[in-house]
Amino acid sequence: MIRAAIAGGTGYTGGELFRILLGHPEVKIVAATTTSSEGVAVTSVHRDLIGETDLHFGTELNDPDVLFLCLGHGISRQFIDTHDISPDCRIIDLGNDFRLDGDHAGRHFVYGLCESARDEIAGAHDIANPGCFATAIQLALLPLAGKGLINDEVHVSAITGSTGAGKKPGETTHFSYRDNNISIYKLFTHQHLGEIRRNIGMIAGKEPVVNFVPFRGDFTRGIFASVYTRAAEGIGEEGYRKMFREYYAASPFVFHSEEGISLKEVVNTNKCLLHLELHEGYVHISSVIDNLVKGAAGQAVQNMNLMFGLPETTGLRLKPSAF
């Protein structure tokens, strides 16, 4: 069994990790650390896990094989520096500390977008888990980047659920603000742009210009991304769709749909659904994921599976609630 520890497990992402790992046939959770809820039962924080575990939050890591860092952005480096972590322990960081600068304390964090670096992840010791928006947007662009077909600016509008803002309440996550409401934030400056440009640029041979407009949605879970750029001549819609089907043929969680897609088809799962159309010289891709699963905890477990030589889908066969 893989001995797993979760640091910072009181938030939404930590709760999803517990849910997935408790059902994983090859994992035993040996520790859950926190600075705010020491001695508190995990089920007192994550009430959906009542009857699933008797774990309590503590401060000891208990010599895990893999450590998941579900800490606030910018805190992972500090945690590594201030805790006694065995060099043999693998780390998967779900924050943004190592996505652009992967070297720290003698460790090298590989950028863990499974569909773009499966072999590298399988041989990695430490992983920087991608951001949620970055995952949805890159999965829409990878087939184009791989064929050298991003030759113009990329335009993205994407909307996310309130859980994407974290568990700590804020003015724009308050029910009275969020309900029946929609708003733009971090216009053209979102923190995930750096990792999108760099990773897609490494695949395409040059960094693309990505114009990103993020929206706050009036729902809790999921990301819907609308992505388009100028289409190449002579390929046609069916040619593009074939390209996407072939690119993701070996990917167990990414699927091209011939019909339009919606959030309910992926929420609660590690899947990404894509739908492609051509319109007057532009190729448009819709991309939907669950921001807490494929956009965070599920992708982290997918990375763990690859690192430990397990089938990618182990513990991740999760069904959406479509109604």
Query: Where do the domains of the chain lie?
Result: 2-129+294-307, 132-292
pLDDT number for residue 273: 98
Give the number of C-alpha atoms closer than 13 A to the C-alpha of residue 20, restricted to the C-beta side: 32
pLDDT number for residue 65: 98
Residues of the chain with pLDDT under 50: none
Burial of 41 by CB count in 10 Å (0-12 exposed, 13-18 middle, 19+ buried)?
Answer: middle
pLDDT number for residue 194: 96
Bin 266: left if φ > 0, else alpha if -120 < ψ < 50, else beta.
alpha
- For the domain covering 2-129+294-307, report its CATH number: 3.40.50.720
Catalytic position from the list 70, 114, 132, 272: 132
Q: How do residues 15-70 score in pLDDT, each as one tens digit?
A: 999 999 999 999 999 999 987 788 999 999 999 999 999 999 999 999 999 999 99
pLDDT number for residue 275: 98
Residue 132 annotated to the active site: yes
pLDDT number for residue 37: 80
Bin 250: left if φ > 0, else alpha if -120 < ψ < 50, else beta.
alpha
Q: Whole-model pTM?
A: 0.96
Asked whether this chain's domains 2-129+294-307 and 132-292 adopt the same fold, the reply is no
pLDDT number for residue 174: 81
| Residue 204 CA: distances (Å) to CA of 116, 146, 148, 233 | 12, 6, 5, 18
Q: What is the rounded CA–CA span in Å between residue 209 and residue 264?
A: 30
Q: What is the rounded CA–CA span in Å between residue 31 and residue 6?
A: 6
CATH 3.20.20.100 is the classification of domain 132-292 = no
Q: What is the chain's mean pLDDT, rounded?
A: 95
pLDDT number for residue 90: 98
